[in-house]
Amino acid sequence: MDELAYSSRMVDWAPLGKLLLVMCLLIVGLITESIVVPMITFVIGILLMAYSTNMKIPLILSLAIGEAILIMIIGSGMISIMGDPNEPALWEGQILWFKIHMTATSFNKAWIIFIRAIAGVTLMLSFASSTPIPHLAQAFRSLHFPSEITELIVLIYRYAFLLLERFLVMIDAAQCRLGYNGSLTAMRSYGGAMAGTFIFSMEMAEKSEAALACRNYNGYFPIYRPPRKMSVMWPIVAIGSAVVLYVFGLYSVGWIDMQQIFAPLFGW
C-alpha cells in the first residue's frame, strides 16, 4: 500500500487536509436522509481514487474491495428483511429461522446504507492510496498526539506486514507437508502456524529492538521529505462542500425511491 501511496499523484497533498475532506464527506453522507448525497460522495470517492492511483489498483486491494462489497450486499440485504412488523410487507416469509418482513422503509433504508458503505470505501481508499503511513503518523504528531501512539502506529504497521509474510510462509510449508488433509489436521496446522508466527514475532521483536537501538532510535522515525501542512484552503473546501451537500440533501429527500424503481421487477 505504501508503494501505491508514494507513487500517487495526491501524495503531496496535505494528509490532514485529505483526512478532513474524507471525514466531512463521510459524515455528511451519514447525516442526510437523501440517497442522492451518498451517491455524490461515492462519485467523488471514485474520482479521487482514479486520480490518485491512475486506476492502477493492485489485485490484492481489488480483492479486499470485492470482499467488502460482498459483506455490504449481505448486510444491506439483512436490513431490508428486518422491517417494522406494523408496516405492510412487500415480502413476508421464513427461510430457516429467519423471519422475513420486508417493508418499503426497510428496503429504502437498506439501499441508502449500501450506497453509504460503498461511498465510504471509495473515500477511505482514496485517502489510503495517497497517504503513506509515515505521513499519517507525522500528521498525527503535528496535532500533538502522544508520541507513544504515533510511534505505535508506525511500529504496528511495519510488524503487521512482517508477520503476515511469515504467516503465509508457514501456511505454505504446512501445505507442502499435507497439513490440510482433513479438517482436524487443517485446524492443527492453522493453529501451529499462528502460534509459530507469534513465537517468531517475539524473537523478531528482540532483534529489531537491538537493530533500532544501534541506529540511535529514540522513538521517532525521521522523514526525509515531510508531508505538506494543511493550508487554510482545506478546511474551507472540506467544510464548505459538506455544508453544500447537506443543504442539497435536505431538498433532495425522496427524489429517488428505490422501492418504486424495483416495484415493476418484483411486482410490488
Partner 1 sequence: MHIMEGYLDPMWCAVWFVVMIPFFVVGVIKLRKILAEHPEQKMTVALSGAFIFLLSSLKLPSVTGSSSHPTGTGIAVVFYGVGVCSVLATIVLLFQALLLAHGGFTTLGANCVSMGIIGPLCGLVLWKLIRKANAGVFISMFVAAAIADLMTYVVTAIQMTLNVVTSTGADFASSFIDFMSVYAVTQIPLAIVEGLVLAMFAQYLSTAKPEIFGIADENKLNPFSTEV
Interface positions, 162-181, toward partner 1 (CB under 8 A): 162-164, 167
Q: Which of 50, 57, 65, 239 binds partner 1 (CB under 8 A)?
A: 65
Q: Which of 8, 52, 111, 127 binds partner 1 (CB under 8 A)?
A: 127
Q: Which of 50, 57, 79, 89 binds partner 1 (CB under 8 A)?
A: 79
How far, in Å, CA of 15 to CA of 132, rounded? 9
Number of residues that bind partner 1 (CB under 8 A): 77
Residue 144 is given by DSSP the state T
Q: Which residue has the cell 540511535?
A: 216
Site residues (CB under 8 A) for partner 1, limited to 25-64: 26-27, 29-31, 38, 64
Write down the H helix ranges in the chain: 2-6, 15-31, 36-53, 59-80, 104-128, 133-142, 147-176, 183-214, 233-251, 258-266
* Beta-bridge partners for 119: none
Q: Which of 71, 223, 244, 253 binds partner 1 (CB under 8 A)?
A: 71
User: 230 vs 232, which CB is nearer to partner 1?
Assistant: 230
Residues 6+ apart with CB under 8 A from 102: 80, 81, 83, 89, 90, 91, 92
Can residue 247 be called a binding residue for partner 1 (CB under 8 A)? no
User: 94 vs 264, which CB is nearer to partner 1?
Assistant: 94
Site residues (CB under 8 A) for partner 1, limited to 177-216: 187, 190-192, 194-195, 197-199, 201-202, 204-206, 208-209
Three cell numbers, residue 61:
486491494
Angle at alpha carbon of residue 52, lines to 67 and 151, rounded to 5°: 75
Site residues (CB under 8 A) for partner 1, limited to 220-239: none
Can residue 153 be called a binding residue for partner 1 (CB under 8 A)? yes
How far, in Å, CA of 249 to CA of 36, rounded? 7
Can residue 253 be called a binding residue for partner 1 (CB under 8 A)? no
